[in-house]
A and B are shown apart, each in its own frame.
Chain A
């Protein structure tokens, strides 16, 4: 079984480079012949999560793994953590800074969007950091026909 993995560094407030992880994920999935719909679904989830690390955290990493069965991406940041995961998971709830809002983010839709598009999502958080793992299952219908 082929196992692709790549780690990225995400800098705090580096909005200009936000999208790097999702762009590369998109390219890797297209290379494997996965369908446009599947690629779009994964891209949405990865982009939202990437933006979260950029606008909410002190910075962190993203680990992209692709096997024959799934695409998994794990975002690990160094804080300050999510005060209430329940609130963060509520559509429309946002703690985004005015800087993030001026750049078109902070609608409070990030985590709800990720949950809606992924097959698995684990989120744990403390003051020293947040870990978000999202997984998209690859099935035979996920390929371009």
Chain B
């Protein structure tokens, strides 16, 4: 499943540019503590987090995540979106909670 397939659901909205949409996804990881993310997340994971700061992009880039999803309509500022575009990290927003987003992603066909 590719990042662009997530956007088939009307629950998920692209907030960065389209440069990373062809990336493959593999598994979901959710945490708001970056050391947990560093310690346990894997390549091509979809990261779901309410942390909306620049360090999320650093970690996403270092670990080669497929995309980052911000649940609960968490606001993401322009600086972060611009940096994500530069690093080709896809950012997606959803009104869903973290748990609902995880369920929805599995329904869409995200593989572990």
11 example contacts (A-B, Cβ-Cβ < 8 A) are as follows: A15-B54, A16-B54, A19-B58, A19-B62, A26-B62, A40-B43, A103-B53, A104-B34, A104-B51, A104-B53, A113-B39
Contact (Cβ within 8 A) B62 A104: no
The chain A residue with its CB closest to the CB of B32 is A104
CA of A18 to CA of B58, assembled, Å: 8
Q: A40-B63, A43-B62, A47-B62 are in contact. Are A105 and B55 (CB under 8 A)?
A: yes
| Chain B: interface size category | 10 to 19
Q: How many residues of A contact B (CB 8 A)?
A: 23
Contact (Cβ within 8 A) A105 B62: no
SS of A interface (majority): helix
Q: How many A-B residue pairs have CB under 8 A?
A: 62
B residues near A16, Cβ cutoff 8 Å: 54
Distance in Å: Cβ of B31 to nearest Cβ of chain A: 9
With beta carbons under 8 angstroms apart, the residue of B39, B51, B53 that contacts A44 is B39
The chain B residue with its CB closest to the CB of A113 is B39
Distance in Å: Cβ of B40 to nearest Cβ of chain A: 10
A residues near B33, Cβ cutoff 8 Å: 104-105, 107, 109
CB of A36 closer than 8 Å to a CB of B: yes
Contact (Cβ within 8 A) B54 A113: no
Distance in Å: Cβ of A30 to nearest Cβ of chain B: 11
B residues near A9, Cβ cutoff 8 Å: none
Distance in Å: Cβ of A144 to nearest Cβ of chain B: 14
A residues near B59, Cβ cutoff 8 Å: 19, 47
CB of A22 closer than 8 Å to a CB of B: yes
B residues near A47, Cβ cutoff 8 Å: 38, 58-59, 62
